[in-house]
Amino acid sequence: MEQTWRWFGPGDSVSLDHIRQAGATGIVTALHEKATGEEWSQEEILARKALIETQAPGRTPLRWSMVESVPVHDDIKVQAPGFERYVATYCGTLRNLAACGIDRVCYNFMPLIDWTRTDLAYQLPSGAAALRFDADLFAAFDLFILEREGAQADHTSEQIARAEKTLAGLDESQRRKLTANIIAGLPGRATEAHTLDGFRSALERYTLVSPERLRQNLVDFLKQVVPVAAEVGIRLAIHPDDPPRPLLGLPRVVSCAEDLRLLFKAVDHPCNGLTLCVGTFGVRADNNLTSMACEFGPRIHFAHLRGIKREADGLSFYEGEHLASDADMVGIVQALLTEENRRIAEGREDYSIPIRPDHGHQMLDDLGKAVNPGYSAIGRLKGLAEIRGVITALSYKDRLRVNQGA
C-alpha cells in the first residue's frame, strides 16, 4: 500500500517536510484555490506538482499520487439549466490531470454540504480533541436555528424535545459556533462558507430532488465522465456520504453496500471506483466494512483508514482511535492487502492502493494551534504509524505462511 497524506497546499500549517517525517511518500491534494466548476489548467497542475515533487538534495522524494478532490458543481447534482458546461470543464480537468501524469481522483456527490460535524474540538478523556457529530445539537440547529421548512417531519417527537432542551442550554456564542461548524465551510474549500439566509436559499434548490433523482443525476454524470477517464487512464474514486444518512432534507445515495452495487451496475467500468472511507461507512452499524472491502475490492482505488465510535443514541458519533474504534481495522487492512495480491497475480503494475490516515485527534503540541479541523499533524502521524504497524505485521504473517508452505 502507498502511504499518503492529505496536504492543503502551500498555506497548510503541516509542511511537506512534516509529511516526510511522518513517513508518507504520497501526497493527496488539489488545487484548492480554484472555484468549483472551474477547469484546472495543465500549467497550474504542473506548478503544484513541481512544488510537491521537487525536493532538495537528500530529501525523501514525494509524489502527487491522489487528487482529493475535483469538486462536482451543485448544478450537476440538481441538473440545473446549463449544467452541461460544468460537466465539460470537469472532463477538461481530468484530461489535464492525466496529461500531467496524475491518474487517480477522489470526488463526492453529496448535496450542498460535505462532511458534517457539530463539534470540531470534542474533548476526549485523554485530553486530546476530536471531531464529533451530536444528533441533538444538529437537530437543534435544523429545527430552531436554521428553522428549515419541513424539519419537524424529519425528527421524532422525542428528538424534537431533546433538541429543544439542548438549544435552551446554549448561550448565544455557543449557538453561533454551532452554526459556523455546520455551514462555515470546510478545509481546502471542500465546501463554501454560507450565511444562514444563503444556506436556506441553497437548500431550496434541492426541494424537488428525491433520492431516486439524485441517484440518476449521479449516473448521468458518470456516463459522461467515465468514458473520458477511461480514455486518459484516470481512475475515479467516489467518497461516501458523511454521515451516511439524509441530513437537512437532503438526499444521500452513497451510504451503504447496496448504494454501491446500484452505482457500479449502472456504470460498469473499472474506472468507476470507490474511496473506501472506513470512518464514514462505519457510522452505520449495518455497514460491514470488512465484507465491503472484500466485495468491492476491485473497485477500491483509494482508502481512508480511520474509525469512529458510535454513541448510545445510534445517531451521534465521534472520531475514534485508528485502531480502537467500531471498525475492524485489522480485518479491513487484511482485505485490502488480499486485493493487492490479487492484482499482483494478474500482473498489474498499478496494484497498490493509496491509503491515508484521516481526521486525526488534535493532541500534544498541536493543542491550541490553529489547524484545519481533523488535519493536525501529530494525531495523523499517530494514526499512520498504527496503520503502518498493522500492514507490516500482516505482510510478515503472509510471507511467513508462504515460506512455510514452500
What amino acid positions are annotated as catalytic residues? Answer: 239, 277, 304, 358-359, 375
Asked whether the beta carbons of 382 and 22 are under 8 A apart, the reply is: no
Cell 444563503 sits on residue:
198
Q: Which of 346, 345, 382 is nearest to 363 (CA)?
A: 382
CA distances from 25 to 52, 68, 346 (A): 10, 16, 25
Asked whether the beta carbons of 131 and 319 are under 8 A apart, the reply is: yes
Asked whether the beta carbons of 276 and 300 are under 8 A apart, the reply is: yes
- In a 13 Å sphere around the CA of 24, the CA atoms on its Cβ side amount to 32
Question: At 404, is the secondary structure helix, strand, or coil?
Answer: helix
H helix or E strand, kind and range, residue 344: helix 329-345
Asked whether the beta carbons of 278 and 304 are under 8 A apart, the reply is: yes
- Number of neighbouring beta carbons within 10 Å of residue 38: 15
**Residues, the chain:** 406
Q: What letter would DSSP give residue 307?
A: -
Q: How far apart are CA 363 and CA 360, in angstroms?
A: 9
Q: How far apart are CA 305 and CA 395, in angstroms?
A: 17
Asked whether the beta carbons of 360 and 379 are under 8 A apart, the reply is: yes
Strands (E), 278-365: 300-305, 308-310, 317-319, 354-357
> Which class for 93: exposed (0-12), middle (13-18), buried (19 or more C-beta within 10 A)?
buried
Q: How far apart are CA 301 and CA 105, in angstroms?
A: 9
The four Cα atoms 330, 335, 336, 339 give a dihedral, to 10 degrees, of 160
- Number of neighbouring beta carbons within 10 Å of residue 168: 9
Question: At 274, is the secondary structure helix, strand, or coil?
Answer: strand
